[in-house]
Chain A
Amino acid sequence: MSTHVWIGAVPPEWKVTVTGAATDAREQPPLDASDDAALVAACLAGRRDAFDVIVERHRRHVYRLCYRFVGNHEDASDLAQDVFVRAYRGLRGFKGQSSIGTWLYRIAVNVSLNKVASKTPPQEPIAESAAAPFEHPAEALMRDERAEQVRAAIARLPRKQRATLILRIYHELPHEQIAGILGSSVGAVKANFFHALGNLRKLLRDA
């Protein structure tokens, strides 16, 4: 913080004092080494480059989460951009009660669920992992088909079960963090996860 006193430009009996964040480049700390809380503070002090660092740190997770919901690159990249723009706009409302990662996940889940609720996005082909190096084309086809069945089944899960399953399986988040993202209790998240797996199994059996 710095304090500036204007003199000469205002009537002599006035003393105008300005208190605000310093914008002198010499006083600015390096951003790459800063933690997320410091980056948020820097953003709020007017350093847009601090937000670039936040984007760089979290863009992969945000994009991949969006992709899990919409199933195609174009929509996922648009949603990821939307997530960060919303985050920037709402940065002043971010109180630091959760990590910024959790907060971004929360925004990403909301925008993704809204997107798929309004319209079913076109799905790109995805695959099961652990493909053999010299896999027979027929096997590859079956593998892709199984992956498609799983994705279609996940897309039919209720919203909270779907979000819970994606965050737990594909982002390997602890139940506590998922609870923070979804605004649920830990017990509810665990129960949702179990029910999601049960429903997924039923849907796959019926596919």
Chain B
Amino acid sequence: MTHLSPSEFADALDGTLRPECAAHLETCAGCRAQADAAAEALARASRVEIPDPSPLFWDHLSARVRDAIASERPHAPGRFAWSWLRPVTLALMAALATLAIALTLPRGRPPVAPPAGVDAGASPSRGAAPRAAAGPGSEIVSGGDEAWDLLSEAVSEVGLEEAHAAGLTVRPGEIDRAVLDMTPVERAALGRLLRQELKRAGA
């Protein structure tokens, strides 16, 4: 039999050495010496204790951890607060994407207007104003519609991957109907709801 491997020496220290290895250890002086040396080092290291902290320390540590994570974003509440918005934000995302595509379409195609009321107050002409205000790379100007601003902000925080991971699928026809057909009153109602949810979620 060959000499013990390092792994087998560890087994010897644990008392879990295979019988054939144990038999070798009994007869091999070299292996015996190594095993004894390891056992001696183990015994010496095992005697070293560390001081126990004050019994009050443990609760103090818990309190420190609690304080530290209090500033962290909670796991589920955030998800819960926003989860109901996902169909809406997805729809808005698609609507914004539609707008962006429409605004950068080649000449010859008619400009696509944003949802009714988006540019209200910014221009009397709905079709032309966004195109003029939002060239390639520039942002769409809401023209003071708070609900639209809020919805846009919500959209900016939802990624496609996240939405996909949540099992949501986008069906363009429905999105168009749900978003582009929104009236100013509906958007105002949704805006109110969003603000309430944001306030509740502490956003």
Contact = CB atoms under 8 A, between A and B. Distances in A.
B88 A46 contact: no
B138 interface: no
Interface in A1-41: 4, 6, 9-11, 14, 16-21, 23
B61 A77 contact: yes
Contacts of B70: 48
Contacts of B68: 81, 84-85
A200 interface: yes
Interface string A122-158: 0010111110000000000000001100110010000
B51 interface: yes
A104 to B, nearest CB: 12
A73 to B, nearest CB: 6
B58 to A, nearest CB: 6
Nearest to B78: A46
Interface residues of A, number: 64
B25 to A, nearest CB: 13
A11 B50 contact: no
A126 to B, nearest CB: 5
A195 B76 contact: no
Contact of A194 (B7, B75, B79): B7
A85 B69 contact: yes
B3 interface: no
Interface SS of chain A: helix, strand, loop or mixed? Answer: helix
B44 interface: yes
Contact of A10 (B6, B48, B190): B190
B37 interface: yes
A188 B168 CA distance: 46
B5 interface: yes
Nearest to B38: A197
Interface stretch (A55-63, A95-103, A109-117): A55-63
A64 B50 contact: yes
Nearest to A128: B47
B10 A20 contact: no
Interface string A183-207: 0000100110111011011001000
A84 B62 CA distance: 9
Contact of A6 (B40, B48, B62, B84): B84
B121 to A, nearest CB: 23
B7 A187 contact: yes
Contacts of B182: 11
Given A20-B83, A197-B37, 19 more contacts: A9-B189, A11-B186, A21-B80, A48-B70, A67-B50, A77-B57, A84-B68, A84-B69, A91-B75, A126-B48, A146-B44, A150-B47, A151-B48, A191-B5, A193-B13, A197-B13, A197-B41, A200-B44, A201-B41
19 contacts: A10-B190, A20-B79, A48-B74, A67-B50, A73-B51, A77-B57, A81-B61, A81-B68, A88-B69, A126-B50, A147-B47, A150-B48, A154-B45, A165-B45, A190-B6, A191-B6, A197-B42, A200-B41, A201-B38
